[in-house]
Amino acid sequence: MKITMRLIIALLIAAAGVAALFSWLQAETDRELMEKELDTRANVLAEGFEEAMRSAVLAGDPDRLRSLIDRFGNRTRLIGLALFDSSGVELSSTASLQGGSPAVTALVYEAIVRDTAVSQFSMLGDRRVHLYARSIQTGTHATGTVLLAHDAAFMAERLTGIWYTNFFRLLVQIVLIILITIVVVRWSITGPIAQAAQWLRGLRAGRTAADQNLPRGDLLGPLGVEVSLLARSLAQARAAAQREARLRMTAEALWTPERLKEHVRNELKAQSLFVVSNREPFMHETVGSVTECIVPAGGLVTALDPILRACGGMWIAHGSGNADREHTGSDGTLRVPPDEPAYTLHRVFLTKEEEEGYYYGFSNEGIWPLCHITHTRPLFRKEDWQHYQLVNRKFADAVLRDIAGEEAPLVLIQDYHFALLPLLIKEQRPDARVAIFWHIPWPNPEVFGICPWKEEMLIGLLGADLIGFHTQFHCNNFLETVDRFLESKTNWEQFSVERNRDRTLVRPFPISVAFPDMPAAGDPASERKALLRVHGIDAAFLGVGVDRIDYTKGILERFLAVERFFELHPEYVGKFTFAQLGAPSRTHIKRYHDLGAELDAAVERINWRFQVRGWKAILYLKAHHNHETINRYYRAADVCLVTSLHDGMNLVAKEFVSARSDDGGVLIVSEFAGAVNELQDAIRVNPYDTEEVAGAIARALTMEEGERQLRMREMRSTVRERNVYRWAANLITGLARVRLPLPQPGSEGEKEPRHG
């Protein structure tokens, strides 16, 4: 309230001062105008009877002079008129000027001496008057002087009126200003401040949420953002402390972002970490006239972002956002996250031809189908391979520039887009510790042998000190492939490859998801009803699938299994709906385009076959869904189908489990997905066996509640313990503890094997 009063008083004083200044300026301006008006009026009158006065003076007739004085002396505001000869002697005057006055005499003599018209303001008795004297010329000689006296009292009245009117307006303005000020201050300043203070008190006491929206505006907007970030940080710190306390009480040691950060600091010490991936952690996208910095969906960002926040390293990635260039420095870097910068993002920009050949061509039409073994023929074109080599070299150059000033840097490379990158880096920086994590399956040697450049890819990968896969089975396939196609020593006891006196460790690191801290609120049945109502569907049971629209995910096989389920169990027609959330992907690649058409046709046929008013067998939702929407379907579903034909891990299975805080729902997982190795309590199926998948759906819908909850609790315990932070910690630990080869004594240039 004090600041409000100070503001009002300051405004009042300022407004009064400004109004007084402008009132004075206006009064002075009007006074000058009125003076000029009186001079002009007197001059016009004098000119009007100058000829008559001249004749009367020359004639020397007193009666005629008196007659002229009386005739001209009754004009408006003219209170006196007098006529003097050339010596300044009064010849005739009105009664008001008879007897003269020092002011009149002085003015007349001044007019005679200067031989021009003069004027001044003076007091005539108790009246303020305007005196005007002008000589009467005859040829070149002055024959007399005329003096006019005008009443000037009206000027004071008019000036007083100006001041009175202005201050009246000032009074009104001040009242309005005060009222507006009070409203604005209370609405935009004191009100939001009081609201924020109340929220902070509640937050400090633990009664309110940290993510509550604070008041926004031009004035308090930046402060509100910073306060929100501070509050969120405090809430996270409090939650972390509470988690740590719970863990100590239960003698557990779950991995959290805070524990991961501390672990990374201890492992890396003063070393720097450089992450390389095709996908960037933050991208700038412009839609219409609005540009936003968004976080791309995926577990990779979830896992690696806390690591770089902890060590302040660098993330090198393809700048794929349509507004990335405009928000990147001249050296291709920027600090991220935008709201609280903690590490550096280095964006590498590719031409359209490079992206087409390296990413869509060799990576996704060659390596992707080759490694997934889904009966889609891989396409290997020489120009795609050339672009793949070129882009790997471009990323290598970027990494080498970034690590130029670093001692023993750690480089963590992600996925199949950069098979050549480890060797390109190690050739120039043998002191760097390099790891690559392969996020997709590794096929058996016979399948990988299809690739025309298999030796080059294997040699490039073996440039790394550590290669990670999701499962031990994929590690075994890789070692068998190397053993088949390269001259090297495969150590099956230590799971390593020795080549040219260098050792590469091969290890499984099953990736996971971030397990939620707090259980989700809401009843699954109510959530299911609300979700389906939006689409005009009424169903008692709900199944869900969440995938990129990719031929490796077994979506078509899933639809066929749902169709077979209705054939075998017609009692569920009109009661069970399967919702497929599909994110469009790589649609301009022919195989993906064809798959989209196949899925649309299958959904239309199945829905037409089992059509019931107000119900659909399959609800096919093609869009890029956010995490909140996906989690709503997870929580509402009675069964989740993960029917990948071949997958490294498939995090959908773990996402579904982590979302079911009610211990409800049944998970059906393909035996060809890496997740099946950890989630032993899921129903395991062969996605190619339509009868088996249809039977699994029926089993899931009829499973006893006790068994269903027991299975889910066991799987949730597994995902909670083996979360994404544990995956990241194990991967960083393996990389940081790699021992680099040293030159053998007495043999310069030779190296001894690296040891794990």
Domain with residue 53: its CATH number is 3.30.450.20
3-state secondary structure of 507: strand
What pLDDT score was predicted for residue 753? 45
Residue 214 lies in a domain: no
**Strands (DSSP E) along 594-697, which ranges?**
618-622, 639-642, 666-670, 683-685
Q: Angle, nearest 10°, between helix axes 724-736 and 299-311?
A: 50
Structure tokens given for 83: 């006529």
Is beta strand 496-499 parallel, antiparallel or unpaired with respect to 489-491? antiparallel
Q: Which residues pair with 670 in a beta bridge?
A: 685
Domain boundary among the residues 157, 187, 213 is at 157
For the sheet with 141-151, list strands across it. Answer: 90-93, 78-85, 141-151, 127-138, 118-124
Res 638: pLDDT:
97
Question: Do residues 477 and 536 both lie within one domain?
Answer: no
Structural domain contains residue 399: yes
Domain of residue 443, residue span: 262-352+395-508
Residue 506 · residue 475 · CB < 8 Å:
yes
Whether residue 346 is found in the same domain as residue 234: no
For residue 425, give the CATH number of its domain: 3.40.50.2000
Task: Determine the distance from the C-alpha atom of residue 180 to the mean position of all C-alpha atoms in its chain, rounded to a whole number.
Answer: 33
Q: What is the pLDDT of residue 565?
A: 98
Res. 750: pLDDT tops 50: no
| Cα–Cα dist 711/743, whole Å | 54
Nearest to 46 by CA among 154, 152, 135: 135
Rounded CA gap, 409 and 399, in Å?
11
Verify that 669 and 581 share a domain, yes or no: yes
Report the mean per-residue pLDDT for the chain.
85
| Band of pLDDT at residue 117, cut at 50, 70 and 90 | confident
Tell me: do 246 and 119 sit in the same domain.
no
One-letter amino acid at 455 equals E
Which residues, in sequence order, are CB contacts of 521 under 8 Å at separation 6+?
none
Please indicate, yes or no, whether residues 571 and 714 belong to a single structural domain of this protein: yes
> Does residue 344 share a domain with residue 233?
no
CA dist 673 and 647 (Å) reads 5
Structural domains of the chain, count: 4
Residue 403 lies in a domain: yes
pLDDT (mean) for 569-574: 97
Alpha-carbon distance of 660 to 706, in angstroms, equals 15
Q: Are residues 325 and 301 in the same domain?
A: yes
Both 295 and 416 in a single domain? yes
Specify the DSSP element, H or E, that contains 25.
Answer: helix 2-59
The DSSP symbol for 607 reads H
Residue pLDDT, tens place only, 95-115: 777 666 788 888 888 888 887
Q: 104 and 72 in one domain?
A: yes
pLDDT of residue 699: 97
Domain final residue pick, 157, 180, 203? 157
What local confidence, expressed as pLDDT, does residue 743 receive? 55
CA dist 292 to 281, 287, 295, 324, 741, Å? 14, 8, 10, 10, 46
Are both 461 and 577 inside the same structural domain? no
- Please check whether residues 556 and 657 belong to one and the same domain: yes
pLDDT 10s digits, 179-210: 787 777 777 777 777 777 776 676 666 555 55
Q: How far apart are CA 615 and CA 573, in angstroms?
A: 9
Establish if 182 belongs to a structural domain: no
User: Max Cα separation, the chain?
Assistant: 148
Of 561, 551, 537, whose CA–CA distance to 582 is shortest?
A: 551
Contacts by 98-102 with C-beta closer than 8 Å and gap 24+? none
- Establish if 732 belongs to a structural domain: no
Do 233 and 271 lie in one domain? The reply is: no
How many whole angstroms from its chain centre is CA 647? 34
Which of the pair, 46 or 633, is modelled with greater confidence? 633
Q: Percent of the chain beyond pLDDT 90? A: 50
- Average pLDDT rounded to a whole number, residues 362-375: 93
Q: How far apart are CA 512 and CA 719, in angstroms?
A: 7
Q: Is residue 606 part of a domain?
A: yes
Q: What is the DSSP string of 586-597?
A: STTSHHHHHHHH
Query: What confidence score (pLDDT) does residue 4 get?
Result: 65
Instruction: Indicate whether 72 belongs to any domain.
Output: yes
Beta-bridge partner residues of 743 = 751
Burial of 682 (0-12, 13-18, 19+ CB in 10 A): buried
Task: Flag whether 739 is in a domain.
Answer: no
Evaluate whether 520 touches 635 at the Cβ level (below 8 Å): yes
